[in-house]
Amino acid sequence: MKRIFLFLVTNLAILVVISITLRLLGVDRIMNQSGGLNFNALLVMSVVMGFAGSIISLLMSKWMAKRSVGAHVIETPANATEQWLVNTVKRQAEQAGIGMPEVAIYDSPEINAFATGWNRNSALVAVSTGLMNNMSADEAEAVLGHEVSHVANGDMVTLTLVQGVVNTFVIFFSRIIGFVADRMIFKNERGEGIGFFVSSMIAQLLLGVLANMVVMWFSRYREFHADTGGAQLAGKQKMIAALERLKLNQEQAALPKGVAAFGISGGGAFSRLFMTHPPLEERIEALRRSA
């Protein structure tokens, strides 16, 4: 979940900065010619801005991940645990046909791990101290296999392309909404005043929430494939055992029934739209049904 969250936050921040910069430079005025929108220019600008945000987010993903969680990259293993981590990731990377990722540990009580990076041969696989302290070697091996599979499947690159496409639509339609609002609500005949800027930014944020539902759906879809990859690299039963361990930990950390309805992960149909991962029981069942 960390890699998706960091990617989305970075992407959003970049889009906001680009939007404000272009507005200050007067570039938005190219969309208004002879009193109407220049749709061709708007589309070109939307594509450039949309993919710039997602591509820059991808290129920054390792740097952001390391600093946000305080990950310690293992250059030279300092103990048996670090040696085991490096050896396991190296073996799985060779099996998956990718370059050796950087291996890191970060201090956190939660059982978690993530993989990120701009290509299959320049990735980062990081695990929490909580995972190493609470999972068996077999379960940890399966989690590492899951993360290595994300890298081998090129999920971050594909996520970047998906994000670039939805960014393009968000920017395109938010500018149209801003132009119409500026003319009809703020009565600006030129359609490029402060009303345009405010309306388009609000529309961009609201449409961005809807667009992120598409990104979240893709993320959930790819988790099933990464589970399958983890099962192939570490063994099906190990992968199932790892997911069951995560499920047990999740249940133990659940909010009391009296306040569960106020929790951020209530599990309702609406909250599911924003989940980066499918429910663990669905992932376990999918693995059990697989050949």
Phi and psi for 217 in degrees, rounded to 5?
-60, -45
User: Would residue 32 count as lying in a domain?
Assistant: yes
Q: Tell me which residue of 136, 140, 118, 117 sits closest to 127, measured CA to CA.
A: 140
Report the phi/psi class of residue 180: left, alpha or beta, with left for phi > 0 and alpha for psi in -120 to 50: alpha
Would 161 be classed as within a structural domain? yes
Assigned domain for 25 exists: yes
In a domain, 95, yes or no: no
With respect to residue 252, please indicate whether it lies within any of the assigned structural domains: no
Does the predicted model carry a pTM greater than 0.75? yes
Residue 192 lies in a domain: yes
> Is 166 part of any domain?
yes
- Top pLDDT among 84 and 164 is at 84
181-207 per-position pLDDT tens digit:
887 877 666 656 678 888 888 998 899
Q: pLDDT, tens digit, for every residue of 149-185?
A: 999 999 988 888 888 888 888 988 888 888 888 878 7
Q: Contact 110/57 with Cβ under 8 angstroms? A: no
Domain-embedded: residue 242: no
Q: What's the number of domains the chain is made of?
A: 1
Catalytic residues: 147
Domain range enclosing 28? 2-67+156-207
Residue 111 pLDDT greater than 50, yes or no: yes
CA 48-50-52 angle, to 5 degrees, is 65
